[in-house]
Amino acid sequence: MGLIQDFDLYRELFGLSFLASLVVGIVLPLIGALMFLRREAFLGIAVPQFAAAGIALGLFLLPIFPTMTAYFLDHGHPPMSYLLPFAAGSACFALAVFGATSGGPRDSGAVLAGAFATASALSVLFLTSAPAGNNLAETMMRGEVLLLDVHGLVVLSSASLLCLFFLIHFRRALIVSAFDPDQAVSLGLPVRFVEVLQLLLIGFTIGAGVMTVGPILVFGLLFLPPLAARALARNLRQFLFYVLAVGLGSVLLAWPMSLELDWPFGPSAVCVAASCALFATFLARVSKPSL
């Protein structure tokens, strides 16, 4: 009842954040679905963590740039045009280096796990050494999307919508190459061009997401909606439908939890998505016919 009575107040305070949650609730699960189809799902952990490490590196190097330091002192945070290259560049680096090993050799999972541990350690070290690190780290890592401003929304929306257009426009090449790369080449699809563009746009989008809504929410929306959809879907169309349903449902249901219980939005949305994945797995096991 309190949410309904205070709707206008919440809309004024959190309208930008709500729009941002819808954007990531649509685009990030689709990126995760593509990684899942390409058997690169574990990159959903490594890539956002490298983006977080890139942001930490940017904060560590901030004193070298007097103009950026002055902006930080005036506004309380570095300009997004400064942090975005660090976040997106680190995400693209992780995609380029570790994407080639994912789903291939037997020890590829161990390589990605080691990369995740290394990126996590670098994040802590850079943030500890950065003059502005301790002030910004907790908010960024917890995923306080409720504090998002218009600049963050513009960056996040621009990156996400550009990536969404790419996923829709090149869907045939992406899907065919995910299942049979050789057939995609034989059909004359622009596989190499799509691979390069995919690396840049997905890295840019994940980097922007980590920088604005935090790595926890990015982790969850990349991993959990495809996991829930895989348990229930019988074909590709159903798989994509369930991915979008779980992604959007998670961010929408997280809003009353976050506002009423004063919980961080990112972890709230991830818990909803995890509950959906568990419930979907349970339904799949119950409905599976006995032999």
Ordered structural domains, the chain, with CATH: 2-285 (1.10.3470.10)
Helical axes 133-142 vs 43-61, angle rounded to 10°: 160
Rounded CA-CA distance 172/211 in Å is 30
Sign of CA dihedral 177, 180, 186, 192: positive
pLDDT at 258: 83
Cβ-count burial 270-284 (b if 16+ within 10 Å, e if not): bbbbbebbeebeeee
Residues contacting 42, CB < 8 A, separation 6+:
102, 109, 112, 113
The per-residue pLDDT for 143 is 54
Residue type, 220: G
**CB-based contacts of 115-124 (< 8 A; 24+ apart in sequence):** 115/46, 115/50, 116/45, 116/46, 116/49, 119/46, 119/49, 119/50, 119/52, 119/53, 119/94, 120/49, 120/53, 122/53, 122/56, 122/57, 123/49, 123/52, 123/53, 123/56, 124/56
For 174, half-sphere exposure in the C-beta direction (CA atoms, 13 angstrom radius) is 23
Q: Which amino acid, one-letter code, is at 281?
A: T
172-193 residue pLDDT tens:
888 888 888 778 778 788 888 8
pTM, whole model, 2 decimals?
Answer: 0.85
Both tokens assigned to 88 = 């997106």
Q: Which residues of the chain have pLDDT under 70?
A: 1-11, 13, 76, 99-109, 132-147, 288-291
The encoded tokens of residue 31 equal 């990126």
Residue in 221, 217, 242 with CA at minimum distance from that of residue 230:
242
- The pLDDT value recorded for residue 212 is 85
- Structure confidence at residue 291 (pLDDT): 44
Q: What is the pLDDT of residue 215?
A: 85
pLDDT at position 82:
87
